[in-house]
Structure formats: C-alpha cells, structure tokens
Amino acid sequence: MAYQTEPPFRHDQTARTAILLINLGTPAAPTAAAVRPYLRQFLSDPRVIEIPRPLWLPILYGAILTTRPAKSAAKYATIWGRDGSPLAVYTRNQAKLLQGYLGDRFKQPIRVDYAMRYGEPNIAARIMALKSEGCERLLVLPLYPQYAGSSTGSAMDAVYAAMQTLRNPPELRLIKHFHDHPAYIEALARRIETHWQRNRQGDHLLMSFHGVPRFTLSKGDPYHCECHKTARLLAERLGLPTTRYSVAFQSRFGRAEWLKPYTSAVLAELGKQKVGKLDVVCPGFISDCLETLEEIAIEGKADFLRHGGGDYRYIPALNAEPDAISALASVIVPHLGGWLDPNWNADADAKLSRERANRAKQMGASQ
C-alpha cells in the first residue's frame, strides 16, 4: 500500500480541530450527462445495492444507466436553483454558518468543512486538505439524523478508506446518529409550529422518511427503529395523539420490498379519507433536496389531490436556518470534549507559536 505524501509535520503550528459535515452528494448539473456519473458512483456502492456485483453490474450498466439519468435529470431541472442543486447549496451554507457559530463561541482554531459521499467535494480530498491546514483532530458528522448502513455507514466507510491512505492520520471521532437528540427534535418542532402559526394547524401531519430495503431491518439495520423514535419524540413534543399523525417511507428504488407503509400509499389513503388540510414534513432530511422538493412537495401533492385530498402543505427542511445551525452545534459540541481547551487564550497561544518557531529556526541554524 502506498501512503500519501503529506506536508511535513509543523511543530510551530497550533493543532487545529476540524469538523467535517458529510452529505450524500448531488449531480453537478440537471442534465443526463451530469446525472449519469453521479448515479453510477452512487449505485455502485455495495452499501447501497447489496446484490452480488456479477448480478448487479449488468443491470446497472444495462437498463439503469441508459434510461434513469435522463428521467432523473428532468426531475432535478424542476428544483434546480440559481446557485445549483439545493442539497449542495444548503450543505455549503450550513458549513459556513457553523464555522462562524463555533468559531465565535470557542475563540480558538476550529475549522468547519463539508464533503459529499458521491461527487464533489470528495471526502478523501477534503480530509487531506484539512490535514494540510494543520488539523490534527477530525470530528465527522454525517448529516443523516437516523443511522442507515446505506447512508451513514457508507459515509463512514469513505472516511475510513481516506484515513487508511494517510501516513500521519488525524485523531478521528464520528457521530453515528442524532435521531433522538433534544436539540434536533426541538428544531423540527419549532419549524412545524412556525408553519402552524402562519397557516393554521392542519388536520393531519404526515412524517415521511427516506425508505430502505425491508431486508436490512431483519439483518439488524437500526434505521427503521430510529425513524420511529424520531417520529414519536416529535409527536410528543408537539402534543399530537397517534390519530393525528402518520409515519411513512418514500423514494422506493427497484422492485424489492422496502420499508412500509409507502408514502405514496398513505397519501392516496389520506386523500380518499378526504383529509382537508394535510401538513407534510420529512424529518430524516436535514436539507431540502430532490427527494423532498420534487418527490414530496410536487409529486406527493399531486397524488394526494388526485385521490380527493384538500389542502397539501409541505413544511421545508431545517436547511441553513438559524435554528438548524444551533441544533447542529448542540449535536457537535459534546463530541469535542477534551479537544478544545476551556482555558485556551489566543494571545498566549500566538506567543507560544512564535517561541516554537524561533526555537525551530535556531535549531535549524545550529545544524
């Protein structure tokens, strides 16, 4: 194994702590040409598709990569913003705002960056860049509140793979999930309450989570349970009885059974029941993306109305709102224990760095 050539370790530099946010990734443009390599990388991941490669790759390179890129690109085109894909824009802004929030709070070197599991910015490249900036400690936060092997597990794999190539890897900490973190539940609850204040509370609240194949649950993936725990805590916080909300799973891919009930089936059922005002929230998505803005806000609305439903109101994700940033900070900070010196003093640190640099220079000169 060839290890990376790294910048020489600098003894005159203060060791910095880095926080790396990781999200799924998104195509570079809403075109078939840009969606194809994104889907190829995504759907080649054995954490995402667990079918043995000799069976799966002919299907992927045959039916899927010849037809899906154009269909998905047309969907991306309906949600694409001036600055690009919403997922990319929100993730970039979250990192920027967290940098300000944590930097102000700790008054010591702390660096917040982000990377994408598929596409750019690449996880290994960002870890290498952080190392080059002198980051000797790395805390990774995959931006998925509920752990699934196919999302968080895969992001962790990519981090471990990057660490394995480093000669002098940073200290590493990983946040596995925050599905029941009080700050995350509170931020979601406030998002919903703000919507209720503006639009009056609906007759029913649908909480829709991204689905995963059903067999992963029997094989021990905690995702299904974590989604239900988030839903229960959120409903308790909002004071909703079980008759006033539903939990469902969206974005089914392929023909195998996925977690049930399917969001499309629940929307049809609620439509048939003639629900007048339906509020819909996607608590598993920190940022709005194709799966919320197109599948839920556009397609889901059409499904509900077609089956006789009344008013359909999609509640946006936490995105880069102030409540979201402080909630993410509350998830992050306890994991920094022992890394940030509570008595850290910028002036003393600068003096120490200067002294170290002088000493290194003198030693160099005397050799």
Ligand X SMILES: C=CC1=C(C)c2cc3[nH]c(cc4nc(cc5[nH]c(cc1n2)c(C)c5CCC(=O)O)C(CCC(=O)O)=C4C)c(C)c3C=C
Chain positions contacting ligand X, by CB under 6 A: 24, 26, 39, 42, 48, 68, 72, 85, 87, 144, 148, 150-151, 210, 212-213, 251, 253, 284-285, 289-291
Q: Does 72 bind Fe ion (CB under 5 A)?
A: no
Give 16 or 252: the residue with its C-beta nearer to ligand X: 252
Which one among 91, 93, 230, 251 touches Fe ion, defined by CB under 5 A?
A: 251
- The one-letter amino acid code at 131 reads K
User: Contact letters (x/-) for Fe ion, 293-322, by CB under 5 A?
Assistant: --x---------------------------
Give 41 or 353: the residue with its C-beta nearer to ligand X: 41
Total residues in contact with Fe ion, by rule CB under 5 A: 3
Supply φ then ψ for residue 258, to 5 degrees. -115, 175
Give 275 or 282: the residue with its C-beta nearer to Fe ion: 282
Angle between helix 223-238 and helix 182-199 axes, rounded to 10 deg: 50
- Dist CA 119 CA 28 (whole Å): 8
| Beta carbon of residue 59, minimum distance to ligand X (angstroms, whole number) | 13
Angle between helix 123-132 and helix 154-164 axes, rounded to 10 deg: 50
Rg (CA), the chain: 23
151 binds, among ligand X, Fe ion, none (CB under 5 to 8 A by kind): ligand X
Residue nearest to Fe ion (CB): 251
| Beta carbon of residue 124, minimum distance to ligand X (angstroms, whole number) | 20
What's 330's DSSP letter? H
Q: Are 305 and 271 in contact (CB under 8 A)?
A: yes
- Dist CA 322 CA 320 (whole Å): 7
Give 202 or 213: the residue with its C-beta nearer to ligand X: 213
85 binds, among ligand X, Fe ion, none (CB under 5 to 8 A by kind): ligand X
List Cβ neighbours of 302 (8 Å cut-off, separation of 6 or more).
Answer: none
| Beta carbon of residue 189, minimum distance to ligand X (angstroms, whole number) | 20
Q: Are 250 and 296 in contact (CB under 8 A)?
A: yes
212 binds, among ligand X, Fe ion, none (CB under 5 to 8 A by kind): ligand X
- Dist CA 346 CA 14 (whole Å): 11
Annotated binding site for Fe(2+): 210, 291
Question: Which residue, 210, 234, 232, 233, is CA-closest to 223?
Answer: 210
Subset of residues 267 to 296 that bind Fe ion, contact rule: CB under 5 A:
291, 295
Give 33 or 352: the residue with its C-beta nearer to ligand X: 33
